[in-house]
Structure 1
């Protein structure tokens, strides 16, 4: 049973669009290779606060990352800190705000874009700072990190769905087609990642509304998908809504490491051997 994990975060992907447009991921669900859940994001439904939520399992009032303009290192133990503490190797191909939360703030493109020395919480990182940085380049970065360093935990953070949502709104051909495009990229990389023995999480930070924004309390803003590819999760579609604060402890469970003290106890009942709720 593998304890290696790839965590793919598709920024700005709302739940209903993932359900209607992501054919490859739903192929895996239909064929008993993956499971799908609906996640309710924390508030505010903004990017930087929710990166901290996803990677530390702590709510905004506790972690203090309250806005997109809160530029400082996190005070919490992230999945990067925890994997390193447990002797696991980690890596990230991600937007620069992730670097600012866990490696160095503020971000300096000339010194912080590529971090491969293994000294910081994100041991091997390739970071980008333009929202339109192509997703196919991002996944090539992720493949480089995976093939070169063979991390136990790899975080991959895609931005093009969110970028097109802001430019064209969620109710647009461009947004829906971008989601299809990302699903096609996943269809090209996931088979080899699965063959290499990785468990895979695919989720989002927040959704996108028909005004081309997010931050509020509506289902369009807050409802996001969670796909899990793991032999520790029973495949299928689960209708019950789960809290976003469950994602970090889920990652710890799949990595077989102890979660941090502030994280919620894992309550997703389908993990083999977990108590039912």
Structure 2
């Protein structure tokens, strides 16, 4: 009788262990990763597909933009920009969306919707796991191939102001930075003023190629009083004024120059739930606006379609090709085609070819049964 009881108990323990293993395997899935390390020699780009006429284009296409400003507004939900709040509190941004030289998208962020994993997704094009929620409290340096590292390796000068998570993830990558801690959630004023106070000077300077701004105030308001707080409107108006300041400055610098146009990217890392929190997978937490603004695009006119739903990971590959950089090895994103629609059809196909080549190589390294056809070689 005791033997049977012992066997039953052992069986129960075994089933529990298997169940825990299956749960952990599903909750913390093995990430899709390239076998190559970040410091390894870059993979040479593929030759362009043959055409009826000869071509000497055998390198990564030239950059589309001279300099880029990335303005990340923490916890910016898509309806804060594309809904009634955007029309009321962000008139300049709304005008750019409806009648400006811009492309607008709704970028879907995968859970966990907390800051550090989302910065990883935006810069690597890969999908972080739930283990990153724990690491979010003490972010180590990001060793995975990423857009910031590629830009620095290409000689681009990068300046950062805002959430100091970036400084911990990318140490020694910025020629200038001023980090702001995100732990004082009750502060939604100084935390943003600390970023904005640098703008007037830095926008006049010519010694940078990539400017990254990470504003925390909206996220802190969400944690304090939720997305319907009376504080949301004034904060959105403040952000709208900053977008106007940056955009008009970029336009004024562009006048009289024959160089490539600049690019302004406005995005969120995640949204917020109806209670003002984030981390989960509700619609308010995963849907964020993504605006790309540049005189390289056609001016919008006529009735506008609802913004297209894309993946947050699509931004990394789009920025890489737009800045003339290699695509990060672990990126699972796809190029946002409207950004290159001004180029010739053959140039657009070349961008897609580079994106497809990188994705096929990543698939080949992670799926043992994958077979690469001769037509890809």
Q: Same fold (TM over 0.5)?
A: yes
- Select the residue among 218, 231, 236 that pairs with 1:174: 231
CA contact (8 A) 1:52 1:65 kept: no
**Cα distance change of structure 1 residues 235 and 254 upon mapping to structure 2, 3 Å threshold:** farther
| CA apart distance, 1:36 | 1.2
- 1:45 pairs, out of 113, 128, 137, with 113
Q: Is 1:191 aligned with 2:248?
A: yes
Distance 1:16 1:29 in 2: 13
Larger % of strand: which? 1
Give the match for residue 311 of structure 2. Answer: 243
* Counterpart among 63, 70, 79 of residue 7 in structure 1: 70
Asked if 1:35 is matched to 2:103, the reply is yes
Name the CA distance, whole Å, in 1 between partners of 2:274 and 2:299: 32
- Asked whether the 8 Å contact 1:5–1:254 carries over to 2, the reply is no
Q: Which has the higher contact order (CA 8 A, sep 6+)?
A: 1
Deviates more, 1:153-162 or 1:28-37: 28-37
Q: Which runs of 5+ in 1 are unaligned?
A: 104-119
> How well do the aligned residues superpose, as a CA RMSD in angstroms?
2.4
CA distance in 2, matches of 1:179, 1:87: 35
Q: For residues 117 and 144 of structure 2, what CA distance do their matches in structure 1 show?
A: 13
TM-score of the two chains, using structure 2 as the length reference: 0.64
Instruction: Say yes or no: does 1:91 pair with 2:143.
Output: no
Q: Match of 2:337, SS?
A: coil
Determine helix, strand or coil for the equivalent of 1:69.
helix
1:222 correspondence with 2:286 = yes
Q: Kindly state the Cα deviation for residue 265 of structure 1 after the two structures are TM-superposed.
A: 5.0
Corresponding residue number in structure 2 for 1:58: 126
SS in 2 for 1:6: strand
Shift of 1:245: 0.4
Looking at structure 2, the residues matched to 157 and 142 of structure 1 have their Cα atoms a distance apart, in angstroms, of 13
Q: Deviations over 1:121-144 (max 9, x none)?
A: 122211112553342441222443
Q: 1:235 to 1:60 in 2, by over 3 A?
A: farther
Quick one: distance in 1 between partners of 2:138 and 2:328? Answer: 23
Query: Which one has the largest radius of gyration?
Result: 2
Post-superposition offset of 1:47 = 1.1
2:201 and 2:125 map into 1 onto residues whose CA distance is 28
Cα distance change of structure 1 residues 52 and 225 upon mapping to structure 2, 3 Å threshold: same
Structure 2: which 5+ residue stretches go unaligned? 1-63, 255-261, 357-377
Q: Which moved more, 1:12-21 or 1:216-225?
A: 12-21
How many aligned positions are there? 260
8 Å Cα contact 2:110/2:281 also seen in 1: no
Kept after mapping to 1: 8 A contact 2:123/2:147: yes
